[in-house]
Structure 1
Amino acid sequence: MTDQKLPPFIQPGERVVLFDGVCKLCNGWVRFLIRHDPQQRIRLASVQSVQGQALLTWFGLPTVQFDTMAYIEAGELLVRSDAVLRILAQLPGLWRFLALLRVIPRPVRDWCYDRIALNRYRLFGRYDRCLLPNADHARRFLQD
């Protein structure tokens, strides 16, 4: 694969999670990933960031209201339960076994995912603005 076919801001071999930076649940997920990805295999970008907006545009996704987390690997975009399960498969230890939930039919998995995603602000809350990464975590986020 040549660099020209890669989405913007993504280097060959990078895996990127796009998340809602004002969602408290999504920020908790990001903290979980940082804690459980010691090899730093997964990079991060909020959908509100310049990088996130460029990636959403690249894949033809909405840039104003985004109701799913997305995962990009090898230039391929996964969303909803497929994204979560692929991310879990990248983590070490017992977390990767949760990826076995792929045996549940996608419509059922996505229905469950959507119930949480569409109600995430009401259930978990939201921040007034996108949180900035801690200095020691900044290298995990896509940069210009």
Structure 2
Amino acid sequence: MIVVFDAQCLLCSRWVKFLLKHDRRGIFRYASIQGAHGRDLLARAGLSPDGLQTLLLVDGERTWQQTGAILRVLHALGWPWRAAWLGWLVPAPLRDAAYRLVARNRYAIFGRSETCLVPPAAEAGRFID
């Protein structure tokens, strides 16, 4: 599975660092929207990297965005993160509206880096670009 993220967004970078720490089975790979592969995956999902306000999870030909992507990622991490599946009880329009609110304001709330996330040397092979 590939997580496509904004490598300049500090919230997104923290999310990736969280995943690197808790993905003990190494099932996730990462592509930034600033890289060619990340942009290609976005295009295949019908998304533009300009003004992007979603996390994209790609698993083969299937893709998920916003809270659907987050809940699937947490489920894949196993316990105790799998308990986040309770989030599916909240209707998607409500979950995704809250997600979009944070996504629109992520730079103002969490900050933005002028440079992209540099992966730790031990994890560099999990980053596509």
What's the C-alpha RMSD, in Å, of the aligned pairs?
Answer: 1.1
The aligned residue for residue 70 of structure 2 is 84
The aligned residue for residue 96 of structure 2 is 110
Using the alignment, how far apart are the partners of 1:110 and 1:126 within structure 2? Answer: 22
Q: Look up the equivalent residue of 2:116 and give its one-letter code.
A: C
- Correspondent of 2:33 among 47, 55, 60: 47
Following TM superposition, by how much is the alpha carbon of 1:101 offset from its aligned partner in structure 2, in angstroms?
0.8
3-state secondary structure, aligned to 2:57: strand
Contact 1:20 1:47 in 2 (8 A): yes
Work out the percentage of aligned pairs sharing the same amino acid.
38
In terms of Rg, which structure is larger?
A: 1
Number of aligned residues? 129
- Correspondent of 1:25 among 3, 11, 21: 11
The aligned residue for residue 8 of structure 1 is none
Following TM superposition, by how much is the alpha carbon of 1:63 offset from its aligned partner in structure 2, in angstroms?
2.5
Contact 1:17 1:69 in 2 (8 A): yes
Using structure 1 for the length normalisation, give the TM-score: 0.85
Q: 1:18-40 CA distances to partner (integer Å, 9 max, x unpaired)? A: 00000000000000000000100
Unaligned runs of 5+ in 2: none
Following TM superposition, by how much is the alpha carbon of 1:131 offset from its aligned partner in structure 2, in angstroms?
2.0
Contact 1:36 1:92 in 2 (8 A): no
Unaligned runs of 5+ in 1: 1-14
- Correspondent of 1:133 among 105, 119, 127: 119
Using structure 2 for the length normalisation, give the TM-score: 0.95
Following TM superposition, by how much is the alpha carbon of 1:128 offset from its aligned partner in structure 2, in angstroms?
0.5
Using the alignment, how far apart are the partners of 2:117 and 2:45 within structure 1? Answer: 24
Using the alignment, how far apart are the partners of 1:124 and 1:100 within structure 2? Answer: 26
Following TM superposition, by how much is the alpha carbon of 1:64 offset from its aligned partner in structure 2, in angstroms?
2.1
